Amino acid sequence: MENLKLEGSAKTPTVNFDSSKGTLELKGRSIPENSIEFYKPLNDWIDAYAGSPQSSTVVDIKLEYFNTSSSKCILDLFKQLEKLNEKNTQVKVNWYFEEDDEDMAEAGEDYQAIIDLPFEMIEVEEI
């Protein structure tokens, strides 16, 4: 299947979903007014990937900012992966946040509490 690559913009993140490596990366900022439109192709890609996933799937979330419209879409994305997990692939989420960015660390904890997937919180100097 095709990989999904989207260049980041002032309001949307860089997307790098690679089916042969089993890596899904979101990087940058996600602050569109209407995020459903933006996230739809990502959900569709995961649906297609679910057909023949790699034995392990690594999700790297490296967001600097996201708005509340995106927060729901990100949750939906995790819920899709949650269904996939342990059926035919082991899913792991790496949640990156910048030093001292307690809000972003806490946002990761919020998802971790809702979603039944292994999360690793990774503090970095700069995203």
Partner 1 sequence: MSSELLTTILQIMESKMDRFEDRPKIKKKVFNVLVECLQNLYHHIDENMDDINTEQNEMNSLFMIAKSDGDYTITTGNYMKPAEVGSLKEKLDLINGMSKEELKEFYKHVLNEGTRSAKGTAGLGMIDIARKSGQELEYEFTPINDNLTFFNLSVRIEE
Could you list the beta-strand ranges (E) of the chain. 4-6, 14-18, 23-30, 56-66, 90-98, 119-124
Residues in the site for partner 1, rule: CB under 8 A?
Answer: 10-11, 31, 33-37, 64-65, 67-69, 71-73, 75, 98, 100-104, 106, 110, 113-114
Cβ proximity to partner 1, 19 vs 35, nearer residue: 35
Cβ proximity to partner 1, 43 vs 54, nearer residue: 43
Cβ proximity to partner 1, 37 vs 52, nearer residue: 37
- Residue 106, classified by CB atoms within 10 Å of its CB into exposed (0-12), middle (13-18) or buried (19+), is exposed
What is the smallest separation between the CB atom of 66 and partner 1, expressed in angstroms? 9
Contact 64, 29 (CB under 8 A): yes
What is the smallest separation between the CB atom of 31 and partner 1, expressed in angstroms? 5
| Tokens read off for 33 | 């007014």
Cβ proximity to partner 1, 31 vs 53, nearer residue: 31
Beta-strand pair 56-66/90-98: parallel
What is the smallest separation between the CB atom of 23 and partner 1, expressed in angstroms? 25
The three-class DSSP label of residue 77 is helix
